[in-house]
Amino acid sequence: MAAGVLLPGGVLSMTSSAAERLVRSGSGDAALLYLQLLRQGGQFDAEGVRKALGWSADRISTTYTQLADLGLARKDADLSPAPAPPEPDSPPDYTSADIAREMEGPGAFPHLVRELERRLGKVLSASDLKMLYTMFDYLALPAEVILLLTTWCIEETERKYGPGRKPRMSQLKKEAFVWRRL
pTM for the full predicted model? 0.52
Domain positions in the chain: 13-84, 96-181
What distance, in Å, lies between the first and last C-alpha atoms of the chain? 35
- CB-based contact 52:29 (threshold 8 Å): no
Q: Which residues, given as ranges, of the chain have pLDDT below 70?
A: 1-11, 78-89
How many CB atoms neighbour CB 99 within 10 A?
Answer: 18
Cα separation, 2 vs 13, whole angstroms: 19
How confident is the model at residue 171, as a pLDDT?
A: 94
pLDDT of residue 6: 44
